[in-house]
Amino acid sequence: MTTNLLEPEIISSTPVAAMMALVYRTSGKGTGKAVWESKPRPTIQHPADAIVRITTTTICGTDLHILKGDLPAVTDGRILGHEGIGVVEQVGSGVTEFHVGDKVIISCVTSCTKCDFCRKGMPGHCRTGGWILGYMIDGTQAEHVRIPHADGSLYHFPEGGDEESLVMLSDILCTGFECGVLNGRVKPGDAVAIVGAGPVGLAVLLTAQFYSPAVLCVIDLDDNRLAVAKQLGATHTINSADGRAAQRVMDLTGGAGVDVAIEAVGMPVTFDICQAILTPGGHLANVGVHGVPVTLHLERLWDRNMSLTTRLVDTVTLPLLLKIVEAGRLQPEKLVTHHFPMGEILKAYDTFGNAARESALKVVLTNP
């Protein structure tokens, strides 16, 4: 009864031109590799589609997972990437909010705006969308991309905006804010611990400050990232290499524990830190992508009035974040450490894939 985005009927017949794109190629034994190759330019396939010429994109940790073979639903030939800024080149007949020439921020989440989940503010679970870009359909690490449900999945780029900064709204800042800060119900005066100082953990750190917590403690194994966290507003940092992170958090909160613990890694050991440091009534907001189950210590937690939340990013807060950037209260570009022209994307992957060695956070690719 709903549109099947994966097997579209072709309703447009623009002559097919070529473009360069970062393509996932299976390498045999379950893993894959990234190839910068020529692909046909995308065309309008549904009335709600738009074609966007990419001017800025970036690489996400999820892209690395795909290359490692962790997401087997990704098929050979898929163009990767779910973040981007660009210019609308073509729109379907049903698109009402965007026109050719509009500069746009692309959400990593495709939203039909009509289904039950979209109407509940959960487009991450959209019946015909959700996270599909660079995963189930071709993505943004290319010169052009087709955006289904364009009216629900694009946002107008503000006049005078900075592309490098605003491409951080495609995914990572929304992820940190929605899954971490909002789900964790961070409030003024709170003690907050963030486990993981990668780009997502740092996005949590930046957006948690909207609510003026009293303590903002960041925990990681990498001293360089902890130093960055300190610059970005952490009141305390803890290197968890010695296995005593939980104890240190209890100490710095006078034995009380934290009001909010945010898991931004996705491993049992980091989840364990979070469940060990909650004050009664505290919130554990999971942001990390987990590959294996965790042990939940309900024998200790059953009476602790805790809440634990999970969430797939919905990017419903993108307009709000945009307002805060425009008001000068958030500088997303602080997450960007490296820049490359889009043609050097393989070099960018190498840098991002060796983040500790390169002191890399987000790498930005431009195609002006």
Choice between 27 and 212, CB closer to its own copies: 212
Q: Coil, strand, or helix at residue 254?
A: coil
Interface pick for its own copies out of 25, 33, 244, 329 (rule CB under 8 A): 329
Does the protein bind its own copies through residue 324 (CB under 8 A)? Answer: yes
Does the protein bind its own copies through residue 327 (CB under 8 A)? Answer: yes
Does the protein bind its own copies through residue 266 (CB under 8 A)? Answer: yes
Lay out the site mask for its own copies across 48-87 (x = CB under 8 A, - = otherwise): x---------------------------------------
Binding range to its own copies, per CB under 8 A, among 73-81, 219-227, 237-245, 291-299: 291-299
Choice between 134 and 266, CB closer to its own copies: 266
Contact yes or no for 134/140 (Cβ under 8 A)? yes
Name the residue among 266, 270, 315 with its Cα closest to residue 287: 266
Would you tell me how many other CB atoms lie within 10 Å of the CB of residue 300?
Answer: 11
According to DSSP, the residues that pair with 363 across neighbouring strands are 338
Pairwise CA distance, residues 83 & 106, whole Å: 6
Contact yes or no for 311/175 (Cβ under 8 A)? no
Q: Which of residues 292-321 bind its own copies (CB under 8 A)?
A: 292-299, 301-312, 316, 319-321
Size of the site for its own copies (CB under 8 A): 74
Q: How many residues would you count in the chain?
A: 368
Contact yes or no for 184/309 (Cβ under 8 A)? yes
Choice between 74 and 365, CB closer to its own copies: 74
Instruction: State the minimum distance, in angstroms, from the CB of residue 368 to its own copies.
Output: 26
Does the protein bind its own copies through residue 290 (CB under 8 A)? Answer: yes
Interface pick for its own copies out of 24, 117, 349, 352 (rule CB under 8 A): 117
Interface pick for its own copies out of 84, 184, 288, 353 (rule CB under 8 A): 288
Does the protein bind its own copies through residue 1 (CB under 8 A)? Answer: yes
Place of tokens 């052009």: 144
Instruction: State the minimum distance, in angstroms, from the CB of residue 11 to its own copies.
Output: 9
Name the residue among 106, 136, 142 with its Cα closest to residue 34: 142
Q: Which of residues 154-173 bind its own copies (CB under 8 A)?
A: none
Q: What is the DSSP letter of 276?
A: H
Instruction: State the minimum distance, in angstroms, from the CB of residue 90 to its own copies.
Output: 16
Q: Which of residues 193-212 bind its own copies (CB under 8 A)?
A: 209-212
The tokens describing 52, both together, are: 């966007």
Contact yes or no for 206/180 (Cβ under 8 A)? no
Binding range to its own copies, per CB under 8 A, among 37-45, 59-67, 123-131, 241-249: 123-131
Contact yes or no for 129/121 (Cβ under 8 A)? no
Pairwise CA distance, residues 100 & 98, whole Å: 7
